[in-house]
Chains A and B, each alone.
Chain A
Amino acid sequence: MSLNGIKKVRVVIDGNEHLFPVGMTIFEAAESVGIEIPHYCYHPGLPIAGACRMCLVEIEKIPKLQISCYMTVGDGMVIRTNTERVKRARAAMLEFHLVNHPLDCPVCDQAGECGLQIYYMTHGLYISRLLENKVKKTKKAAQIGPHVMLDQERCILCSRCVRFCAEISKSHELGIFERGDYSELDIFPGKQLDNPYSGNVVDICPVGALTDRDFRFKTRVWYLEEAESVCPRCANGCNIYIHYNLKRPYKNDGRRISRLKPRYNSEVNDWWICDEGRYCFKFADNDDRLLEPLVRQDSRTARPGWEETLGRAAERLRATAAAAKVEVAVLVSPQASNEELHITKRIFNEQLPGCGFYFSALSPFEPTEDSLLRKKDKNPNTRGAELMGLSSDSAGVKSLAELKSAALAGKIGALFIAYHDPPGLPESENRGWAEAIERIPLIIYQGTNNTATSRSAHIVLPAATFAEREGTVTNSSSRVQIQRRAFSPAGEALPGWEIMRCLGEALGGVYRFENAEQVFDDMAQKYPAFAGLDYGKIGSSGIIVTSGK
């Protein structure tokens, strides 16, 4: 039969009749009606291997059990996923997977999120009858690339990683060698697992065969909590989870973020993230975090707290604005969230009319790019700045080069600079900036970590990282997505929008925003691109605000 032009078939699964589109696998069909079928080799983003045999189901009129990951639904099919026969087969397949798997869970980094452990509890629970020795494999704890460790004896040969390297990264580093139960997952001779997406093989490995060098032995996974976020490392805005540990603060040198994991979004990144994004989080817990507001005068550094610091900043900004021949410059960053960009623009326009806005998307990172995920623009919110008229293409907004010339010419009386560090840019971009910084009488720096600019700044405002605040960013496809707050900011740092709100009030305005959501609502009223947008409706996968560029 046909509904909406898509041919559908009538299928009974576990006693209930459903309609499914032709060509759908039994696994997908079952999943779509809430029936979970155990599996190891199946992964929705990879070609079907049919190797693990965990997903066997019973189909009426077919004598053998069939793998549901491969078999497609047919009209009139009667499928059973929970009969004694199916359950026995699952337990049997699980037992086979464990024949040569070491019992090293206590020292295995995968413990707690291991497919073997989970299915043993749900589908196994038999008493071991294995008396035989296990096959000894070659490589244990072998580094096979910059990010990935291989433990062959833990591998269940599901071939997910092999298929990932063949079909997704298309780099073909991994293969299964030898035969029978001596089969080994390994790297091809002379190769390294060194592709821009290598970390994904750790995510898709259902066991502890491939582990993350960076994460290994840092924190047990059951201490981790997770927050939905968006990768801050480039303009693609890949969806991620921040996995953080607050329960055992003495682990991992007190670092709160343990790792980033991809979060499925079919419109943005599917199941994957790149390695640059995956390991970009270190700055949030580094020793060079800015932890309290600073005021520097005559080579002395004072820590007078937020109120006085912002009071001084406001006072000096006002004085500069009143002076002749010099400009108050605001260097806006595409690292900032939409809320922060909006409130920055609003407050400077309202409180210090005549100030000059500058914009730069330059970044210290290499402008890597490919057709899978990575974008040349290494900022998460350049598109957001564009939509708010704050990018270099916008009327009245000037470039970094123009800022430098103006500074060198002595025309910049005060610079409010957020997240940027022009002297820290690659050599081709940073020429002359050390001197330019010297020539600016007042530099107010807002950022997360210490940089050349923050060290030269007269006033330093410590800001929260993407993990420490709520906010939205707009990716290069104009998709507005939420970065949820995982935990509170380090030290006395505050979310960027809140620093701005306080500065606005110190400058004499009234800005009654209590949270990022309210700033977002204010922004949505202001810009046509965001008009009618409701923070509550952005959801986990974001909303496109305009048709692309």
Chain B
Amino acid sequence: MGQVKLISRFFEIENSHLLPVYERHGGYSAARRVVTEKWPMEKIISTVKASNLRGLGGAGFPTGVKWGFVPRDQEGPKYLVVNADEAEPGTFKDRQVMLNAPHLLIEGIIIAALSFGAKEAFIYIRGEYFEPCLVLKQALKEAEEAGYLGHNIFGTSRSLEVTIHRGAGAYICGEETALLSSLEGFKGWPKLKPPFPALKGLFSKPTIINNVETLSYVPIVIDKGPEYFAGLGVERSGGARLFGISGHVKKPGVYELALGTPMRELIYEHAGGIRENRALKAVIPGGTSCPVLKAGEADISLDFDSLAKIGSMLGSGGVIVMDETTDLVRVLHRICRFYAHESCGQCTPCREGTGWMTRIMERIAAGEGRAKDLDNLVDIANMILGNTICPLGDAAAMPVASFITKFREEFEAKVKAKSVAVG
């Protein structure tokens, strides 16, 4: 069994969001150690590097490596930004973390901030996450009152201010540079890279942006040791992560699994299998932007490299399961609509391409498809892919290309049915 209880153990503890309860279960011991023992930056970074912890927002970049990019000797402010703008369709894990273990996140924030010398952190939280925001605010207040945040944390000379900023409902603001634009008070448009945020980020200062779940694993890595964490996973994918499984399963929810657990185990054991014991048709492994998998690919090991090898991604851990009754034309139409609606409109291929693909899909879904539409859709997706400012273009393109390529017969049937339907 691949299930572990590192973060998710707090999901089962009553009132785990309250500081006394959290501390009763060993909370803040990692942060206290790092702060009071005055861990040098290099020690924090090398510990996290050794744990193989990778970014769990979707991109999977090694966390310790990212922290190491911040220039050490640069004067002036440096910022830590927490990406709590969880909005990738099918993803709902950060929400659980913030509701049940806000202090675990705060502890992670403290350690991460110390790793590169940030004295200020911002939590950019999805606007619709009203309840998590309230819980987080309460937790921040508790942590400040306990002397874990603010001036002289844990009785030392260090200080760390944490500010919550609520988003206004744009998916694009989960993209890290758009998030920074939004946080700076501008329209949520992604920025051109380089420079990367680690050198020039928020207000043009060195900035590290980490996902909620990623940061929440940091205290666990410190507590249990990097070897333990790395040992849970497979070679280059350290530890565990939260999988949010939804769709046609009997027990949808958030499950914490060691990386490398077979997807089949997640679907059939932890999530209880497919509703009414139907056959599996398709799975999206990590949020809608990840290329879809066919039922035959469900044995894949859930880790970054295995999924990359078969042309998909572990993404944000949002597993969407579709059974044999699912109309994939409608699914793809819905996915297209989402990305067209959420495209920021800044660069041409994404702005125009997402809308164009959606309107073609709309026509196909309405039974007005033409034979050439499918090739055109794949071509448009490939015209967007890799040619945009930010990854939203790729996120919109990849499902189109993968759905139509992998389930070509179903799309062709829909397109061919036109004459019957119209006639």
Q: What A residues does B348 contact at CB under 8 A?
A: 51-54, 93, 96-97, 156-157
Tell me if A181 and B387 are in contact (CB < 8 A): no
Tell me if A180 and B341 are in contact (CB < 8 A): yes
Q: How far is the CA of A97 from the CA of B356 in the complex (A)?
A: 11
A129 at the interface (CB under 8 A from B): yes
Tell me if A131 and B352 are in contact (CB < 8 A): no
A324, chain B: closest CB distance, angstroms? 78
The tally of residues in A whose CB lies under 8 Å from a CB in B reads 35
Q: How far is the CA of A421 from the CA of B360 in the complex (A)?
A: 67
A70 at the interface (CB under 8 A from B): yes
B117 at the interface (CB under 8 A from A): no
B155 at the interface (CB under 8 A from A): no
Tell me if B345 and A178 are in contact (CB < 8 A): yes
Q: What A residues does B372 contact at CB under 8 A?
A: 129
Q: What B residues does A48 contact at CB under 8 A?
A: 192
Tell me if A96 and B352 are in contact (CB < 8 A): yes
Residue contacts A-B, CB under 8 angstroms, 11 given: A53-B388, A54-B348, A70-B192, A92-B349, A93-B348, A93-B349, A96-B353, A100-B355, A178-B345, A179-B342, A181-B354
Q: How far is the CA of A135 from the CA of B353 in the complex (A)?
A: 13
**B64-98 interface with A by 8 A CB criterion:** none
Pick from B343, B352, B354 the residue with the most CB of A within 10 Å: B352
Q: What B residues does A283 contact at CB under 8 A?
A: none
- The prevalent SS among residues of B at the interface is helix
Q: How far is the CA of A178 from the CA of B370 in the complex (A)?
A: 31
| Known contacts A133-B359, A180-B351; is-contact A95 B340 (Cβ 8 Å) | no
Interface residues of chain B, those whose CB is within 8 Å of chain A, are 170, 172, 187, 192, 340-349, 351-356, 359-360, 363, 370, 372, 376, 383, 386-389
Tell me if B354 and A52 are in contact (CB < 8 A): no
Tell me if A183 and B387 are in contact (CB < 8 A): no
Q: What B residues does A176 contact at CB under 8 A?
A: 187, 345
Tell me if B363 and A51 are in contact (CB < 8 A): no
| Known contacts A48-B192, A92-B387; is-contact A180 B359 (Cβ 8 Å) | no
Tell me if B349 and A180 are in contact (CB < 8 A): no
Q: Which of A97, A129, A178, A181 contacts B340 (CB 8 A)?
A: A181
Pick from B340, B342, B359 the residue with the most CB of A within 10 Å: B359
B101, chain A: closest CB distance, angstroms? 33
A182 at the interface (CB under 8 A from B): yes
Q: What A residues does B387 contact at CB under 8 A?
A: 53, 56, 64-65, 89, 92-93
Q: What B residues does A46 contact at CB under 8 A?
A: none
Q: How far is the CA of A96 from the CA of B351 in the complex (A)?
A: 8
Q: Which of A63, A92, A156 contacts B383 (CB 8 A)?
A: A92
Q: Write the chain B residue with the least CB distance to A92.
A: B383
Pick from A97, A99, A130 the residue with the most CB of B within 10 Å: A99
Tell me if A157 and B386 are in contact (CB < 8 A): no
Q: How far is the CA of A211 from the CA of B149 in the complex (A)?
A: 56
Given contacts A56-B387, A132-B363, A157-B345, 10 further A-B contacts (CB under 8 A): A50-B192, A64-B386, A65-B386, A67-B192, A99-B356, A132-B356, A132-B359, A157-B346, A180-B340, A181-B351
Tell me if B343 and A180 are in contact (CB < 8 A): yes
Interface residues of chain A, those whose CB is within 8 Å of chain B, are 48, 50-54, 56, 63-65, 67, 70, 89, 92-93, 95-97, 99-100, 129-133, 135, 156-157, 176, 178-183
Q: Write the chain A residue with the least CB distance to B171.
A: A179
Q: What A residues does B343 contact at CB under 8 A?
A: 179-181
Tell me if A95 and B383 are in contact (CB < 8 A): yes
Tell me if A99 and B342 are in contact (CB < 8 A): no
Tell me if B359 and A179 are in contact (CB < 8 A): no
A52, chain B: closest CB distance, angstroms? 5
Q: Write the chain A residue with the least CB distance to B376.
A: A129
| Known contacts A70-B192, A95-B383, A132-B360; is-contact A181 B347 (Cβ 8 Å) | no
Q: What A residues does B342 contact at CB under 8 A?
A: 179-180
A53, chain B: closest CB distance, angstroms? 5
- The prevalent SS among residues of A at the interface is loop
Tell me if A179 and B345 are in contact (CB < 8 A): yes
Tell me if A180 and B355 are in contact (CB < 8 A): yes
Tell me if A52 and B347 are in contact (CB < 8 A): yes
Q: How far is the CA of A133 from the CA of B356 in the complex (A)?
A: 9
Q: What B residues does A130 contact at CB under 8 A?
A: 356
B422, chain A: closest CB distance, angstroms? 15
Q: How far is the CA of A156 from the CA of B376 in the complex (A)?
A: 22
Q: How far is the CA of A50 from the CA of B389 in the complex (A)?
A: 7
| Known contacts A92-B387, A129-B372, A180-B341; is-contact A97 B352 (Cβ 8 Å) | yes
Q: What B residues does A181 contact at CB under 8 A?
A: 340, 343, 345, 351-352, 354-356
Tell me if A53 and B347 are in contact (CB < 8 A): yes
A134, chain B: closest CB distance, angstroms? 9
A340, chain B: closest CB distance, angstroms? 52
| Known contacts A132-B359, A132-B363; is-contact A180 B389 (Cβ 8 Å) | no
Q: How far is the CA of A56 from the CA of B389 in the complex (A)?
A: 12
Q: How far is the CA of A181 from the CA of B336 in the complex (A)?
A: 13
A47, chain B: closest CB distance, angstroms? 10
Q: What A residues does B355 contact at CB under 8 A?
A: 99-100, 135, 180-181
Q: Write the chain B residue with the least CB distance to A93.
A: B348
Q: Which of A51, A64, A89, A135 contacts B347 (CB 8 A)?
A: A51
Q: How far is the CA of A98 from the CA of B394 in the complex (A)?
A: 21
Q: What B residues does A183 contact at CB under 8 A?
A: 345, 351
Q: Write the chain A residue with the least CB distance to B345.
A: A183
A129, chain B: closest CB distance, angstroms? 6
Q: How far is the CA of A467 from the CA of B347 in the complex (A)?
A: 42
Q: Write the chain B residue with the least CB distance to A51.
A: B347
B74, chain A: closest CB distance, angstroms? 21
B182, chain A: closest CB distance, angstroms? 13
Q: How far is the CA of A100 from the CA of B347 in the complex (A)?
A: 14
Q: What A residues does B376 contact at CB under 8 A?
A: 129
Q: Write the chain B residue with the least CB distance to A183.
A: B345
Q: How far is the CA of A131 from the CA of B170 in the complex (A)?
A: 29
Q: What A residues does B340 contact at CB under 8 A?
A: 180-181
A247, chain B: closest CB distance, angstroms? 36
4 shortest interchain CB distances as A-B pairs: A183-B345, A181-B355, A92-B383, A132-B359
Q: How far is the CA of A65 from the CA of B388 in the complex (A)?
A: 10
Pick from B172, B342, B354, B389 the residue with the most CB of A within 10 Å: B389
